[in-house]
């Protein structure tokens, strides 16, 4: 089950703001989910990847298989597939390879509202679910040279903007995802670099 869409600003608002800001022409979505976000993205070329044929993606396959099979590059890539840190980390690494110069990566569900909300599927108790995508975001923020932040709407959208080099010294960040706990997430909001404004 997906988290309810209750925020006035949504992930496609952020994606469309970047498309307008940089004049992007191509978009890839990982995790089609019935096209809820996909259908609202306004761009010349948009494609999606999802292993669930019933969601009607452009490519019916896992993101791992897609990135291995195809070499297509995109201006903006939206990661919203399996919300488990190891998969999100692979999707980030693969997306960086398949990103055009000056491109942007957006990843959904980086702000879980409870410990239960961010558990893996095999211990997921039901209800709202973001998974633990935030761990992959923190790990990559510690290692990538780009400006990164979490847009704090619609369950948190992590952004990697390759147009912007890291402009300030980072807080001390962990790099081993398995060692990160939800209590750490709550205690260290500086890890996420939360913002609320759309890019202008």
d(CA 11, CA 15): 6
* pLDDT tens digits along 103-126: 999 999 999 988 887 877 655 555
Interior angle at CA 131, CA 127 and CA 133, nearest 5: 150
Residues of the chain with pLDDT under 50: 1-7
d(CA 170, CA 75): 26
Give pLDDT, residue 123. 52
> Which pair of structure tokens corresponds to residue 114?
């409870």
Domains and CATH numbers, the chain: 11-173 (3.40.50.150)
C-alpha distances out from residue 139 to 52, 85, 101, Å: 28, 10, 22
Give pLDDT, residue 107. 97
C-alpha distances out from residue 150 to 47, 160, 166, Å: 24, 9, 14
Structural contact between residues 139 and 159, judged by C-beta atoms closer than 8 angstroms: no
Give pLDDT, residue 127. 55
80-83 long-range contacts (CB < 8 A, ≥24 apart) are 80/11, 80/29, 80/30, 80/31, 80/33, 80/37, 80/107, 80/108, 80/109, 81/30, 81/31, 81/49, 81/50, 82/31, 82/131, 83/109, 83/129, 83/130, 83/131, 83/132, 83/133
End-to-end alpha-carbon separation of the chain, Å?
Answer: 33
């Amino acid at each position: 089950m997906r988290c309810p869409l209750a925020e006035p600003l949504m992930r496609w608002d952020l994606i469309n703001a970047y498309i307008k800001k940089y004049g992007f022409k191509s978009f890839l979505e990982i995790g089609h989910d019935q096209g809820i976000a996909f259908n609202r993205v306004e761009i010349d070329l948009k494609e999606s990847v999802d292993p669930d044929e019933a969601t009607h993606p452009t490519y019916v396959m896992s993101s791992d298989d897609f990135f291995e099979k195809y070499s297509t590059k995109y201006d903006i890539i939206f990661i919203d597939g399996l919300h488990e840190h190891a998969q999100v980390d692979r999707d980030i690494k693969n997306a960086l390879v398949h990103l055009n110069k000056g491109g942007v990566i957006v990843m959904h569900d980086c702000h879980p509202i409870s410990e239960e909300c961010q558990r893996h599927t095999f211990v997921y108790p039901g209800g709202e679910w973001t998974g633990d995508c935030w761990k992959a975001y923190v790990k990559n923020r510690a290692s990538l040279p780009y400006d990164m932040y979490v847009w704090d709407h619609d369950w948190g959208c992590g952004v990697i903007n390759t147009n912007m080099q890291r402009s300030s010294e980072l807080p001390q960040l962990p790099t081993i995802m398995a060692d990160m706990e939800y209590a750490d997430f709550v205690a260290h909001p500086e890890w996420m670099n939360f913002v609320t404004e759309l890019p202008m």
